[in-house]
Amino acid sequence: MSAPRGGPAVRVGAMVRRLDDGRTLSTDPDLVLPVASVGKVLLLGEVARRLADATLAPDRPVELLDADREVGGTGLIGRLSPRRWTVADLATAVAAVSDNAATNALLRLVTLDAVQELARRVGLRDTTVHDRIRAERGPGVPETFATGTARELCAFLAEVASGAWQSRQACQLLRDWLAGNTDRTMVADSVGHDPWSGDGVQVENKTGTDTGVRADTGIVSGRHTVVYAVIAAFPPGAERAAVAELRRWGTAVDRLAGTHRSDSS
């Protein structure tokens, strides 16, 4: 099975790795690109780590500031009336609907420095979060929320999938949050998965959407467990081509995970 290849207008960094035998498909996996909200995986990882080692309580209340609520973009919490939410509420909102207000509140709680240190500790050199979510980016602030490479995202999620990162409790917390993601429109769109069918296939992923960027990273468990990361950067007018590339990579994820009984590769 050959790796999908991007169109001329779309730059793609991608990797799919099957964990039991190491079989890997990739295209420019070390290409550093903006990853948009995929970077929130690192924030969720830091929250999971603290909950697992009991340095943070899931029911700890966190106040939303006006600055948190005014960022716009994805999410619901900033549009709802309560001003106080628990850590568990906020983490669930970040994972399920990529909530920007919840992201900023959690970043303020655990600190950006701590999220960046987590990335360094797991050996990520080019994958990190640079800043909080902002409605607009101008002079004096980082150009983008997060950047990364497909190889490093896969390396991190492989540690999580195997239970080798931090602790099994931390890994399971992060995986449970990612399993609640409501966005299956990119890579996961091509993965044979019906959560109501009892087919045993599990999809745990985080997507990212920004101007000129579509990204998706995750863990898929079928007959095999696969980790993947696909990042597509594109010029104006090429959004459909970028999404098509992510979905083409989804077919590779589907095959390597063996989510259909007829798959034998």
Please tell me the distance from the alpha carbon of residue 129 to that of residue 148, in angstroms, as a whole number: 9
- CATH architecture, domain defined by 11-257: 3-Layer(aba) Sandwich (3.40)
Residue 78 has a pLDDT of 85
Is pLDDT at 36 greater than 50 in this prediction?
yes
For 70, phi then psi, to 5°, come to -95, 5
pLDDT-derived band at 262, boundaries 50, 70, 90: very low
Residue 204 has a pLDDT of 98
Nearest to 246 by CA among 182, 170, 150: 150
What number is the average pLDDT over the span 57-63? Answer: 97
DSSP structure string for 99-134: -HHHHHHHHHHH-HHHHHHHHHHTT-SS-EE-S---
pLDDT-derived band at 196, boundaries 50, 70, 90: low
CA 146 to the chain's CA centroid: 11
Residue 263 has a pLDDT of 46
The mean pLDDT of the chain is 93
Is pLDDT at 264 greater than 50 in this prediction?
no
List the chain domain ranges.
11-257
Please tell me the distance from the alpha carbon of residue 133 to that of residue 100, in angstroms, as a whole number: 6
State which H helix or E strand residue 97 sits in: helix 87-97
- Residue in the block written with tokens 């509140």: 105
pLDDT in tens, 140-156: 999 999 999 999 999 99
pLDDT-derived band at 193, boundaries 50, 70, 90: confident
Q: Which residues pair with 15 in a beta bridge?
A: 26, 229
What number is the average pLDDT over the span 232-237? Answer: 96
